[in-house]
Amino acid sequence: MKPGYKFLRNILFGLLVTGTVVFISLFAAGYVKLSAQNTEACFACHEDPDLTADRNGKKVSMYVNPAAYKKSVHSMAECVDCHTGYNPDELPHSKTPVKVDCKSCHQESLKGIEAGVHKQVNCYDCHTKHDVAPGKEIRVNQTQNCQKCHNTKGIQQYKTSIHAKKNVGCEGCHLGGHSSKKISKNEVAATCGKCHGSHEKNFNNSVHQTVLQSGNQNAPTCTDCHGSHQILTSKMTIESQSCLKCHLDEKLFPGEGRGSAKFVADYKTSVHASIEKGGKEAAGCSDCHGDHMIQDPNNPQASTIRAKMLETCGKCHQQEVEHFKKSQHGTELMKGNFKAPTCASCHGEHNIKSVVSSKEFTKLNQVELCLSCHVDQKLPHKNYKGEEVLISNYKDSYHYRALQEGKLNAATCSDCHGAHEMKKFDDPEAQIYKKNIAKTCGQSDCHTKQLGDYNGSIHEQSLLDKNNPDAPTCNTCHGNHQILKKDESESRIASSKGLVQLCSDCHNSVEMTEKYDLPTGRTESYLESFHGLAVRGGSKVAANCESCHGNHNIRPSTDSLSTISKKNLPETCGKCHPGAVTAFFNTPIHIVKPEEENPWMYWVTNFYIFMIIAVIGGMVLHNVVDFSKKFKKKK
Amino acid sequence: MSSKKQQEKYLRMTLNERIQHFFLLTSFITLVITGFALKFPEALWVRGLFNLFGENAFELRGDVHRIAAVIMVAVSFYHIFYVILSQRGRKFIIDMWFRKQDLTDLNNAFRYYIGKTKVRPKFGRFSYIEKAEYWAVAWGTIVMGATGGVLWFENTFLPVISNSGMDIATAIHYYEAILASLAIFVWHFYFVIYNPDVYPMNKAWFKGYLTREEMEHEHPLELEEIEKEQAKETKKENIRKEDTGKKDIKKKDIKKEEKKPAPEEIKIEKDKKEDKGNNNIPAEEINPKKDAGK
């Protein structure tokens, strides 16, 4: 110690003694007798910050900040109210210091704490010793107080949690104050529910809660997914850390069936997991299964049950679902037809793959998918005539074989029927509604040229403009599923004979010709013409219907664009008969009433018939009598 | 009549004529078959035929039809030249021309058939039956050749006669075909095949001759004429050589008649010997006399 300091201390000590003497002499006379247990008196010594005492060999500060004390709720109390059993005249005041017993005053409020988790905690650990703040103030800062002790890493994560940001303190969950408590697993939901009531309600209806209540402690409650103090809110984090943590665990979910860990594992390679949308997976567990009210997949209320799947998938795939609902599949599904497919029937469940890039949805695999239901016998389809249509015939079609050869623009089921839009042929919005078929076949990348030819043809006009339901469109001639190339021998239109028969189905039908006032005698007159005779005889080059009338672009002869208009006829005939280019055509090609259409031919024919009857008849008569005469004579 | 005499041979068709006939008949039958095969493609016989010739039978049919047509037309032209340029041809066409007698014969024939008379009309070298046949063929060949040519070269004719003309040509070609075929089958085949007098067949079309018996029955007037000529010849010779008393050679049933080839313009010959047909041929080639109706 420096000599200056000693000197200063001596001076101060002198002043203190002098002051004390003056102070005592001033008040001793007629004021209050100075009590030995007066707080003032205590502070006389204890306001010295340097005041220390030995406590079990340790030097302990005996300093009490008078200002803080005066502000505290205990400013009304005397020191001795708490510190009992001290003799101020002795130093130390007590040989066996007595612990402050708060209960002596705070009997009521301490009852709670004795039953709680903080039973062993000293009051002053929270309330401090002399500057005891009012309860209100403590409550405000309670969280910091708690963290003084509860400073493990897990609990410290609270500081960055949403609860911290939103000023939800420890007491929000743990009650705080004297009734602070631990929260058991079974109480978690109720605790969170104080604020998150609707979620609690949902959770209470969930399969997780049901399992939990059945006693399986593996079942999750709020904190198992969200964490207890850090409180996860990110969907992606929750799913990867929480849902999958359990549901990929083969011990918890053994086997290979639905619900097994393996079943769920497919999700990881699905398009939902692999495509990122705004930094998140396209769809996570909760997007389909729901979050708090997650249900057993067999529960009728489950978001993944057949009936609700449209709603669930439709949250993201709105347009597709809207189309699907109007489709035949969708209508049947909503009617409750248990055979009708829903989203998962085609797309799968966890293993949902991109339609564009996955193997599962290549055009070829799609065929198998559709045929898995639409096979003959199992799900027979009837056409508009009520005849059963063999859908598996598609596999004989050129469309299918082209796909197999790697020509990927060939049509598969959905190209004609639509995928989600699939409707029955009798629905006017169906792609395969008779009036829409040409558009469907002629869609871009497909048969656009043929569509162009067909548009404006008499067949197209009767169908669309005159609403003639029997007028042919693409499939009338080409067939439905088993569409073949024209030059394939099994095709109906491969041979001239087949083609003539095809056209004759309508143009030689009494019913059709009468109903629609079609010109009659086309087939007969053709079949008796040289062209027809040659075709009947097997000629491969003789003209058939198509050679003159065209195919997709068939128009009536009165149409100047028609191949058989008077103007174009020389050119049309000239394809085979170069001499015809300069010829003129003064009688119809199909002679039905020769007496009007070609009277010369008519009279020549009749002349010959007469001649044949007369001449040959005469010869027969002559020979018969000759024979009988000679025969008799011979005998 | 001795059977020997009855077997004496009389030239009916020279080899040249038989060859003409052969080409005509083969081309005709071919045309009938290949033609009706077009018109009745579903007929069983057509189907069978087409199956026989495989995939391109229809095209083959057309080619064969045209080849046969060319042959027939060629034979026809040859025949025209033959008829104009050769002596026998000119005689042939004169004999073939219609006469009033033909109508009388036809009338008498019917009278005979219905029993009004017991006498069968006697025919010369060509009866009305053969004349009808021949001219029918001539007519038919012209008509079929013309219409067939139009149909064959449709590119040439279409601009000329238009499609209505083509249709008429087609109709004529078809009905004429029926008429011609029936004429052959009903008329010609009856008289040369089914006719009880010649059944099973009149073999003149390949042997070239008729027997005396056949001549007596079918062409008695011609026989008379031939024998008249022969008699004349014989008489001349006899006068010249022997100056003997006259012999009457009028009757045809004269027994030992020498049929000396005494061709006026034609040299016929066939000794009465019963030589085989072989002998005929060289003689005929030089100057055939008889002709089978066609």
pLDDT in tens, B50-98: 999 988 899 999 999 999 999 999 999 999 999 999 999 999 999 999 9
Name the pLDDT band for A257 (thresholds 50, 70, 90).
confident
Best mean pLDDT range from A41-50, A108-117, A180-189? A180-189
Whole-angstrom Cα distance, residue A438 to residue A455? 9
**Best mutation target, A489, A573, A582, A601, to test chain B (most B CBs within 10 A):** A601
Name every residue whose Cβ is closer than 8 Å to that of residue A399 and which is 6 or more positions away in sequence: A410, A411, A412, A483
pLDDT of amino acid B149? 96
Best mean pLDDT range from A30-39, A315-324, B27-36, B95-104? B27-36
- DSSP lists the bridge partners of residue B211 as B9
A605 has a chain B CB within 8 A of its CB: yes
Is it the case that residue A235 has pLDDT exceeding 80? no
Residues of A in contact with B55 (CB under 8 A): 538
Written as six digits, the tokens of B37 are 């095969």
Q: Out of A37-51, A304-318, B250-264, which region has the weakest mean confidence (pLDDT)?
A: B250-264
Residues of A in contact with B65 (CB under 8 A): none
| A54: enclosing H helix or E strand | strand A52-55
Name the pLDDT band for A456 (thresholds 50, 70, 90).
very high
**Best mutation target, A497, A529, A533, A603, to test chain B (most B CBs within 10 A):** A533
What is the rounded end-to-end Cα distance, in angstroms, of chain A?
185
Phi/psi at A471 (5° precision): -65, 140
A589, A600, A629 member nearest B113 (Cβ)? A629
One-letter-per-residue 3-state SS of A581-599: HHCCCCCCCCCCCHHHHCH
Q: How far is CA B59 from CA A383, B34, B50, B56, in A?
A: 41, 11, 10, 5
pLDDT of amino acid B153? 94
CA torsion sign for B244, B250, B256, B258 is: positive
Q: Out of A604-613, B79-88, B116-125, B283-292, which region has the weakest mean confidence (pLDDT)?
A: B283-292
Name the pLDDT band for B294 (thresholds 50, 70, 90).
very low
A583, A630, A634 member nearest B163 (Cβ)? A583
Written as six digits, the tokens of A198 are 């609707």
Whole-angstrom Cα distance, residue B262 to residue B230? 6
Name the pLDDT band for B270 (thresholds 50, 70, 90).
very low
pLDDT of amino acid B42? 92
pTM, full prediction: 0.69
Does A619 sit within 8 Å of B163, measured CB to CB? no
pLDDT of amino acid B255? 44
pLDDT in tens, A339-369: 888 888 888 888 888 777 777 678 888 888 8
In the block, tokens 């997650």 appear at A294
Is it the case that residue B33 has pLDDT exceeding 90? yes
Domain boundaries, chain A: 232-360, 362-494, 499-592, 599-635
pLDDT in tens, A78-92: 787 788 777 777 777
Is it the case that residue B233 has pLDDT exceeding 90? no
CA distance A583 to chain B (A): 4
Whole-angstrom Cα distance, residue B255 to residue B262? 18
Q: Kindly report the CA angle at A457 between A452 and A462, in degrees rounded to 5?
A: 125
B58, B171, B196 member nearest A605 (Cβ)? B171
If you average pLDDT over residues B252-273, what whole number do you get? Answer: 41
A632 has a chain B CB within 8 A of its CB: no
pLDDT above 90 covers a percentage of chain A that reads 21
If you average pLDDT over residues A462-467, what whole number do you get? Answer: 91
Is it the case that residue A328 has pLDDT exceeding 90? no
pLDDT of amino acid A544? 93
Is it the case that residue A264 has pLDDT exceeding 80? yes
Does B156 sit within 8 Å of A580, measured CB to CB? no
Does B38 sit within 8 Å of A619, measured CB to CB? no
- For residues A545 and B249, the model is more confident at A545
CB A462 within 8 A of CB A468: yes
pLDDT in tens, A391-442: 778 888 999 999 999 888 899 988 998 889 888 888 888 998 999 999 999 9
Is it the case that residue A152 has pLDDT exceeding 70? yes
Whole-angstrom Cα distance, residue B31 to residue B33? 5
Interface of A with B in 303-362 (CB under 8 A): none
Name every residue whose Cβ is closer than 8 Å to that of residue A73 and which is 6 or more positions away in sequence: A132, A133, A134
pLDDT of amino acid A463? 92
Rg of chain A on CA atoms, in Å: 51
ipTM for this model: 0.79
Helices (H), chain B: 3-6, 15-39, 44-53, 57-85, 87-96, 100-113, 128-152, 154-182, 189, 204-207, 212-218, 220-241, 277-286
CB B191 within 8 A of CB B184: no
Residue A381: which region, alpha, beta or left (left: phi > 0; alpha: psi -120 to 50)?
beta
Bridge-based pairing of strands B9-11 and B209-211 is antiparallel
Q: For all residues of chain B together, what is the average pLDDT?
A: 81
Say if residue B130 is exposed, middle or buried (CB neighbours under 10 Å; 0-12, 13-18, 19+). Answer: buried
